[in-house]
Amino acid sequence: MCFDLGGPLNKVAYAFAVGGLAHPTDGSLKVMAAAMAAGMVPPLAMALATTVRGRLFTRTERENGKAAWFLGASFITEGAIPFAAADPLRVIPASMAGGAVTGALSMAFGCTLRAPHGGVFVVPLIGSPLLYLVAIAAGVCVSTLVVVLLKSARKPTPSGAAEGDAAAATPAEDERVPATA
């Protein structure tokens, strides 16, 4: 669910989960719950990361982070695409780590879901809803932590770097939030 953030692999995993709803079993309802929970993690994590460590992100990314709150809560994984497009080597692994934690916890908690879509708006339809939200929160925290650590560890680029190389991934000084924010 988190490798390509709404791309073809995400759609295959989602279709597999939805297919299990045709003849629901306890296992297929757990798969649907895990798929939706994991799919919510990337945009929610990027939204949280832009909130807690805004200076690591460009002004545009911080604005995208505001929209990502709603997109993630609605199970629209594509809300993380602008972040992955700007910095795939940091955002995609972070998203995958958090999604894996969320999916594993959702399955371990025995959470089930009969709705094919809806994000947090279908919580009343989820078996073990509080544990489901705990699983999502845990994955969001993992992804946020990983992306913040990876972005904090990147090396600054020389000021004379050519356009289109690593400098494009690093926010310009004038786009960063002051260190006190």
Q: What is the pLDDT of residue 154?
A: 82
**Strands 112-113 vs 126-127: parallel, antiparallel or unpaired:** antiparallel
pLDDT, position 159: 52
Q: How far apart are CA 44 and CA 80, in angstroms?
A: 8
Contact predicate 45/143, CB 8 Å: yes
| Residue ranges, the chain, pLDDT below 70 | 156-181
For residue 127, the cross-strand partners are: 112
pTM of the model: 0.85
Rounded-to-integer distance, Cα 44 and Cα 65, Å = 8
Q: Give the pLDDT confidence score for residue 40 in this predicted structure.
A: 97
Residue 72, token pair as written in the block: 């993630």
Helix locations, 53-172, DSSP H: 59-73, 81-86, 88-108, 129-153
Q: What are phi and psi of 112, to 5 degrees?
A: -125, 160
Helix (H, G, I), strand (E, B) or coil at 128: coil
